[in-house]
Amino acid sequence: MRGLVVLVTLTCFATAQHQALIDYLERRLLAIEDRISLWHEQTTRYASELRELKQQMVSQLENLDKEKEALRTNLDGVGTRVDRVERELDYLETQNGAQPCVDVDDKLIEQQVTLVQEKQKAKYSKLSDCSHMISNIKAMKILKRVGGPKGMWTKDMSKTSGKVYIFNGTDEDSVYEFATVQDFARSLGMSLSKSLKLPSSWKGTGHAVYDNHVYYINQVQDITVVKYDMKSSSITDSAVFPVQDHVPVYGLTPETVMDLAVDEEGLWAIYATRQNERHISLAKLDANSMDIEQVWDTNCPRENAEAAFVICGTLYVVYNTAQPGRSRIQCVFDVNDMVTNEDAPLIYFPKRYGAHSSLKYNPHEQLLYAWDDGYQILYKLVMKKKLEI
């Protein structure tokens, strides 16, 4: 009996030890599981933070690339303007001795005016072999009616672009961009367009779009031609037009103090001054540097003029006639002296609604983009060689 008690006692003791071991192991396993769970949570959090950090770094690198490109573009524009100022200063130094540092701005403007007058006397050097002129207007297509009575619409005049741009009104700071003419024609109003907000407002209807740049007229006191890069969304250059006492270039469109035109030879400025206020003047511009290459005083009157355009270095001015609803090309000025008013054919435009507030020639399509009392119109031109007249 005593042996049985001892055996039972030993068995109970062994069972208690076994249970204590099991409890210890369970506690250790729970502690390990807690540590594994904590490690897993920390690992997940670290991975998430690393992903967020990676996204932030990628975003910052993209922004740095954009800022780098914008800075490079701005530096290029600054370099061009510095070169222009250096040329003007070099010229001033060769013409005059050292002058007191007073009234610098006025003297520089006077010097620029003198340079413009000298360029009037220089012989024009053609940039292309273009030698054709208008023979007739083949067809007229009314695309749609959108916007106010006055405005301007045009394509980008470079060969590589088919985009269309709408300047609605005569004093705004937003331009509407359409991917194609077809998108513009089928759009309900401006619904299919992209709005481009310019850094400053544009005045009149005399703007141009050329090689992904908007060239627009800004007027506060002096007339400034602004060159805006649509790729970088920044102004790459601007130039005060060095002609004193401007007057509106067209008698029937007083809001337009200067009209920019693009033809086969590049960028032109059509303007008028009080010194020669009865007639229209013409200037050839360098589209890259914004320098004036040469200027001409034409014999084309401002009175009753609606709009004008340039083809192959020939200025065509459109006038309102005594016949209701009719306008015609009534004055022609060729910078190469190959065409005169007597040689040029008498060309009437088809019946219109009001008056052309703008006419923009596309040298690659041989089309005129016209704005007539809110209607956007295309005129198909028939051309012929100048030597055939």
Residue 95 — very low, low, confident or very high, per pLDDT cuts 50/70/90?
A: very low
Please report the pLDDT score of residue 44 as a whole number. Answer: 86
The β-bridge partners of 292 are: 285
Average pLDDT over residues 11-34: 79
H or E segment at 78? Answer: helix 2-95
Q: Token match 């009209």: residue?
A: 259
Residue 150 phi, psi dihedral angles, 5° rounding: -120, 145
Percentage with pLDDT > 90 across the chain:
50
Percentage with pLDDT > 70 across the chain:
81
**The whole model's pTM is what?**
0.69
Higher pLDDT, 11 or 92: 11
Higher pLDDT, 238 or 242: 238
Please report the pLDDT score of residue 22 as a whole number. Answer: 83
Residue 127 — very low, low, confident or very high, per pLDDT cuts 50/70/90?
A: low
Report the distance separating Cα 101 and Cα 93, nearest Å. Answer: 13
| Interior angle at CA 383, CA 381 and CA 388, nearest 5 | 155
Q: Which of 48-52, 93-97, 277-281, 285-289 has the lowest mean pLDDT?
A: 93-97
The radius of gyration computed from the CA coordinates of the chain, to the nearest angstrom, equals 36
Please report the pLDDT score of residue 346 as a whole number. Answer: 83
Q: Which of 122-131, 219-228, 257-266 has the lowest mean pLDDT?
A: 122-131
The CA-to-CA distance between both ends of the chain, in Å, stands at 146
Please report the pLDDT score of residue 30 as a whole number. Answer: 84
The answer to whether 183 and 224 are in contact (CB under 8 A) is no
92 has a pLDDT exceeding 50: no
Residue 5 — very low, low, confident or very high, per pLDDT cuts 50/70/90?
A: low
Please report the pLDDT score of residue 230 as a whole number. Answer: 94
Q: Which two tokens stand for residue 158?
A: 């470079």
Q: Report the DSSP pairing between strands 213-219 and 266-271.
A: unpaired
Report the distance separating Cα 368 and Cα 140, nearest Å. Answer: 10
H or E segment at 105? Answer: helix 104-121
Average pLDDT over residues 15-20: 78
Higher pLDDT, 97 or 82: 82
Of 75-79, 89-93, 166-170, which one has max mean pLDDT? 166-170
Residue 322's identity, in one-letter code, is A
- Distances 81 to 49, 142, 333 between C-alpha atoms, Å: 47, 42, 32
Report the distance separating Cα 221 and Cα 247, nearest Å. Answer: 12
Residue 102 — very low, low, confident or very high, per pLDDT cuts 50/70/90?
A: very low
Residue 122 — very low, low, confident or very high, per pLDDT cuts 50/70/90?
A: low
pLDDT tens sequence across 148-158 = 999 999 999 88
pLDDT tens sequence across 30-59 = 888 888 888 888 888 888 888 888 888 888
- Distances 111 to 32, 90, 234, 270, 277 between C-alpha atoms, Å: 88, 12, 29, 21, 22
